[in-house]
Amino acid sequence: MSYERDKDAGRGAIVIPTPYIYLHSTGDRLFVNGGNQREFQIEVFDRSGNPLPPVKMPYERLKLSASFKNELLDWFKSDPRFRNMPPAIFQRLHFLEILPAIRDVFAAHTPEGGRVYVQTYARQAENSEFFVFDFKGKLLKKAFLPTTPGAKVKLNHERVFTFHNDKYYYLLENPETEEWELHMQELN
């Protein structure tokens, strides 16, 4: 198995979104995705490293529009984490023309056997698109769920959400108190 990394990253460019490789394990399965995904596919392995059928489906990847690119640049320049960065850093930003198919994955055992929750880059207002699969790769549902408004792209391995027994738990920052609040939503 090989995962393609962006060729510009080796030339000092900061690739957005960053093409990390993600490993997710639960029970006796390992789920692997990432790199510059061309397809909506998550590799699955048993505890001995033997491949199992992947979680995959046809999915049209989103193009990075000029307006979204400008929104991302404005976000970088206004976000407190990046505000004091030297201006030269912004010249090193390299935006992918087409976003990866998968933004994040979370796998969990459930009373029904197990679920794979897959977040994409598609959005409706402040909600992100999620697909829910069983461990055999059968699509169970699609939902748009609330996500942190400031998280425009996946820049690191941080996750501010989790799933447990078909409940979605997520953190939102309260701008008035500057504290994180825990929220929960049932997946019906």
- Residue pLDDT, tens place only, 50-71: 999 999 999 999 888 888 788 7
Confidence at residue 150, expressed as pLDDT on a 0 to 100 scale: 54
Confidence at residue 27, expressed as pLDDT on a 0 to 100 scale: 78
DSSP category for residue 105: E
Confidence at residue 71, expressed as pLDDT on a 0 to 100 scale: 78
DSSP category for residue 111: T
The alpha carbon of 56 is separated from its chain's Cα centroid by a whole number of angstroms, namely 15
Tell me what the mean pLDDT of segment 135-155 comes to: 80
Calculate what percentage of the chain has a pLDDT beyond 70: 86
CB contact at 8 A, 32 and 43: yes
- Residue 127: is its pLDDT beyond 50? yes
Tell me what the mean pLDDT of segment 34-48 comes to: 85
Calculate what percentage of the chain has a pLDDT beyond 90: 28
Can you give the pTM of this predicted structure? 0.83
CA distance 61 to 102: 9
pLDDT grade for 84, boundaries at 50, 70 and 90: confident
Strand segments (E) across 17-160: 21-26, 29-34, 40-46, 51-57, 93-95, 104-108, 115-124, 127-134, 139-146
Confidence at residue 121, expressed as pLDDT on a 0 to 100 scale: 86
CB contact at 8 A, 84 and 165: no
H/E stretch holding 90? helix 87-91
- Residue 114: is its pLDDT beyond 70? yes
Higher pLDDT, 81 or 97: 97
Average pLDDT, the chain: 82
pLDDT grade for 49, boundaries at 50, 70 and 90: very high
